Amino acid sequence: MALRDYRIITALVLLVLAIVGIVLLVFPAKDMENPPENMFGIVLDAGSSHTSMYIYKWLADKQNDTGIVTQHSECHAKGGGISSYAGVRGGAAGSLKDCLKQAVKDIPKSRHHQTPLYLGATAGMRLLGKVNATESKRVLKEVEKEMRSCPFKFKEAAILSGQEEGAYGWVTVNYLLENFAKYGFVGRWLNPGRQTIGALDLGGASTQIAFETSEVVEDKDNVMELKLYGKTYRLYTQSFLCYGQDQFLRKLLAHLITTQGVKTQVSHPCYPQQYNTSVKLGHDVFDSPCTQSYKPASFDPQKSVRVVGTGDYRSCLDSVTKLFSFENCSYSKCSFNGVFQPNVTGNFMAFSAFFFTHKYINSLTNIPITSPSRLKEAIQLICNMTISEMTAKTKQSEKYMKNVCAVSNFVQVLLLQGYGFNNHSLPSISFEKQAGGASVGWALGYMLSLSSMIPGERLGLMKALPLGPWAGILFLFITLLFIALGYLLMIYRSTKSKEGIV
Ligand SMILES: *[C@@H]1O[C@H](CO)[C@@H](O)[C@H](O)[C@H]1NC(C)=O
Ligand SMILES: *[C@@H]1O[C@H](CO)[C@@H](O)[C@H](O)[C@H]1NC(C)=O
Ligand SMILES: *[C@@H]1O[C@H](CO)[C@@H](O)[C@H](O)[C@H]1NC(C)=O
Ligand SMILES: *[C@@H]1O[C@H](CO)[C@@H](O)[C@H](O)[C@H]1NC(C)=O
């Protein structure tokens, strides 16, 4: 009896020892001590129509894990994009002041000096660079000076190329959805990486498409290879300048005005019936590099034209389609305007203005966009609505509602005829504004890439050295666990058989 108790105690001690050993190995003591502090990073997204600021945060010791960086707060600067302050000294810098002040408040003072600060400008500044390169450089210098005067660690104020903008959007989407290989604590991979999804971005002055492809990319300008956590991703990325929603609407107006002749009144098939507004030929229509090819030989830029809506779906779709060229493809296949594109594959996330267009279509018609024919059906209904019907249904101002028919048709032509989404692939697009608590856009991917928070090296290799002995000791403890269990089982069995005899 006494011997049996003694053996049980020994076995239990071994068992407890094994469990404690395993627990100590798997949950490192460091993680159990005081929780690590937050780090912060700031990105100013200087778009063509406005500037937004995003503050991200992450735990100081976990910056290389995916799904760890989250959005802390955001700020939307009043007034136009920085490119709209061309020729206005101090204008662009002034427009950032309120948001930067908010950042000073939002981030703990002790972290200020180590918080990286980035500004990325997109198509608005790319267009200004075309019109007046000196002025575009001056605006950029001016915002850089303003950023340097902040208590943060200034990193960069740059104009992103269209390809970069597309790729950073793709990085953001897949980071937030945790599609990249994910690294867990103490040298283990939680997932080896999932199928990535494509990114569709619609801004004010340009639109981007980016997705992983295994097809041959015939135009080398469209390939981007990204090495993330030791895995190489081959992206197709393309940006269409002047195909953002504001510049597209301008092109549409320019097209209507030139085809109808410069008169005091022009009819607009995409505006709601009876809706009318007045536009200045220079400021609202032809003062943009995007409408240069429509410019009449001579016109008075100060002249106002009354634009009267006719709410005609068919005619609107025709006019919108004329702004795309589906001819002259020098590759095996093209999306539009002679640009090569492989077939769209996999799932996509569509954000920014795509999200709002989808939201308006939904709230105006309640028709889910599950196929090209449902999309068409919904847009037909919208183009037949009056402006007051639209503002009543969505509680949004006329400013936005007057363009929903035009922009929906634009999105329809872009996605179906342009990118080639069809009955099968259109439902694979999800329209989102946020994912994992962060705004979807290029800003997060830009910060992650520039700060090498998504290293190209496989993290397993970086931590490989301590992994060897660690795994060895873990193995020993697991063996001990089994020995203790086996020992207990043996004691139990022998007791049972003895009891059987008695
Ligand atoms: C470009 O901007 C500069 C100011 O930076 C101005 O002096 C110049 O006139 C502008 N050029 C054109 C062609 O508008
Ligand atoms: C323009 O709209 C106003 C109401 O906003 C209306 O009174 C006027 O008749 C319209 N003009 C045209 C030419 O349709
Ligand atoms: C797509 O679906 C519509 C209606 O469901 C059908 O008429 C059309 O033929 C389909 N197109 C293709 C390419 O499958
Ligand atoms: C994260 O990655 C960077 C760049 O590869 C590296 O320098 C850094 O040591 C890594 N940090 C951690 C916590 O592993």
Average pLDDT over residues 416-426: 97
pTM: 0.83
Burial of 336: CB neighbours in 10 Å, binned 0-12, 13-18, 19+ = buried
In DSSP notation, 129-147 reads HHH-HHHHHHHHHHHHHHH
Instruction: Report how far ligand 3's centroid is from the alpha carbon of 420 (Å).
Output: 14
Q: Answer yes or no: is 254 a known binding residue.
A: no
pLDDT at 3 over 80: no
Q: Answer yes or no: is 412 a known binding residue.
A: no
Q: Is 225 a catalytic residue?
A: no
* Same-domain check for residues 12 and 151: no
Instruction: Report how far ligand 4's centroid is from the alpha carbon of 52 (Å).
Output: 28
> What is the model's pLDDT at position 468?
63
Note whether 387 and 316 are within 8 A (CB).
Answer: no
* Same-domain check for residues 296 and 273: yes
The residue ranking higher by pLDDT, 235 or 185, is: 235
Average pLDDT over residues 311-335: 97
Instruction: Report how far ligand 4's centroid is from the alpha carbon of 39 (Å).
Output: 14
* Same-domain check for residues 299 and 383: yes
Average pLDDT over residues 9-14: 85
- Find the angle CA(345)-CA(347)-CA(352) to the nearest 5 degrees: 115
Instruction: Report how far ligand 2's centroid is from the alpha carbon of 396 (Å).
Output: 21
Q: How large a percentage of the chain has pLDDT more than 90? A: 72
| 267 pocket-lining for ligand 2 (C-beta < 6 Å) | no
In a domain, 185, yes or no: no
Q: Answer yes or no: is 267 a known binding residue.
A: no
In a domain, 113, yes or no: yes
Note whether 155 and 236 are within 8 A (CB).
Answer: no
- Report the nearest atom of ligand 4 relative to the CA of 61: 13
| 455 pocket-lining for ligand 4 (C-beta < 6 Å) | yes
Q: pLDDT-derived band of residue 446, with 50, 70 and 90 as boundaries?
A: very high
Note whether 427 and 60 are within 8 A (CB).
Answer: no
In a domain, 174, yes or no: no
- Report the nearest atom of ligand 3 relative to the CA of 423: 1
Which is nearest to 143 in space by CA: 105, 216, 90, 190? 90
> What is the model's pLDDT at position 65?
59
In a domain, 182, yes or no: no
- What is the domain-level CATH number for residue 234? 3.30.420.150
| 130 pocket-lining for ligand 1 (C-beta < 6 Å) | no
* Same-domain check for residues 218 and 77: no
> What is the model's pLDDT at position 5?
81
Average pLDDT over residues 292-318: 96
Q: Answer yes or no: is 204 a known binding residue.
A: yes
* Same-domain check for residues 380 and 267: yes
* Same-domain check for residues 411 and 330: yes
> What is the model's pLDDT at position 305?
96
In the numeric block, the tokens 């109808």 are attached to: 260
| 187 pocket-lining for ligand 4 (C-beta < 6 Å) | no
| 132 pocket-lining for ligand 1 (C-beta < 6 Å) | yes
Nearest CA to ligand 3 atom 2: 423
Nearest CA to ligand 4 atom 1: 64
> What is the model's pLDDT at position 63?
58
Q: pLDDT-derived band of residue 1, with 50, 70 and 90 as boundaries?
A: low
How many C-beta atoms lie closer than 10 Å to residue 90's C-beta?
Answer: 10
Q: What is the pLDDT of residues 16-75, one digit of tens each?
A: 888 888 777 776 544 444 456 788 999 999 999 999 999 999 887 665 555 578 899 999
Which is nearest to 323 in space by CA: 390, 395, 414? 414
* Same-domain check for residues 387 and 492: no
Helix (H, G, I), strand (E, B) or coil at 433: coil
| 141 pocket-lining for ligand 1 (C-beta < 6 Å) | no
In a domain, 192, yes or no: no
Which is nearest to 126 in space by CA: 340, 351, 288? 288
Collect all residues with Cβ–Cβ distance below 8 Å to 311 and sequence separation of at least 6.
Answer: 269, 271, 272, 273, 275, 383, 384, 385, 386, 405
pLDDT at 288 over 70: yes
In a domain, 411, yes or no: yes
Q: What is the pLDDT of residues 389-410, one digit of tens each?
A: 999 999 999 999 999 999 999 9
Instruction: Report how far ligand 4's centroid is from the alpha carbon of 198 (Å).
Output: 27
Average pLDDT, the chain: 90
Instruction: Choose, from 164, 165, 212, 432, the residue flagged as catalytic.
Output: 165
| 398 pocket-lining for ligand 2 (C-beta < 6 Å) | no
Q: pLDDT-derived band of residue 147, with 50, 70 and 90 as boundaries?
A: very high
pLDDT at 448 over 80: yes
* Same-domain check for residues 67 and 211: no
* Same-domain check for residues 245 and 304: yes
* Same-domain check for residues 263 and 326: yes
| 137 pocket-lining for ligand 1 (C-beta < 6 Å) | no
Instruction: Report how far ligand 2's centroid is from the alpha carbon of 255 (Å).
Output: 23
* Same-domain check for residues 202 and 343: yes
Q: Answer yes or no: is 205 a known binding residue.
A: yes
In the numeric block, the tokens 């600067």 are attached to: 77
In a domain, 202, yes or no: yes
The residue ranking higher by pLDDT, 480 or 367, is: 367
Helix (H, G, I), strand (E, B) or coil at 75: strand
Nearest CA to ligand 1 atom 11: 132
Q: What is the largest CA-CA distance in the chain?
A: 116
Rounded distance between C-alpha atoms, residue 46 and residue 94, angstroms: 13
pLDDT at 113 over 80: yes
Q: What is the pLDDT of residues 176-213, one digit of tens each?
A: 888 887 655 444 555 667 899 999 999 999 999 999 99
Nearest CA to ligand 1 atom 6: 135
Q: Provide the residue range defining the domain that includes 109.
A: 38-161+438-460
| 276 pocket-lining for ligand 2 (C-beta < 6 Å) | yes
User: From the DSSP assignment, how many helices (H) and strands (E) are in the chain?
Assistant: 16, 18
In the numeric block, the tokens 């990114």 are attached to: 199
The residue ranking higher by pLDDT, 68 or 336, is: 336
| Radius of gyration for the chain, computed over Cα atoms and rounded to the nearest angstrom | 30
Q: In the chain, how many domains are there? A: 3
Instruction: Report how far ligand 1's centroid is from the alpha carbon of 247 (Å).
Output: 22
Rounded distance between C-alpha atoms, residue 143 and residue 50, angstroms: 14
> What is the model's pLDDT at position 64?
58
- Report the nearest atom of ligand 1 relative to the CA of 134: 5
* Same-domain check for residues 99 and 117: yes
In a domain, 170, yes or no: no
Q: What is the pLDDT of residues 457-478, one digit of tens each?
A: 655 444 444 556 677 788 888 8
Nearest CA to ligand 1 atom 2: 135
Compute, in degrees rounded to 10, the torsion defined by CA atoms 62, 68, 72, 77: 110
Q: Of the bound ligands, which one is closest to the alpha carbon of residue 264? A: 2
Average pLDDT over residues 405-427: 98
- What is the domain-level CATH number for residue 47? 3.30.420.40
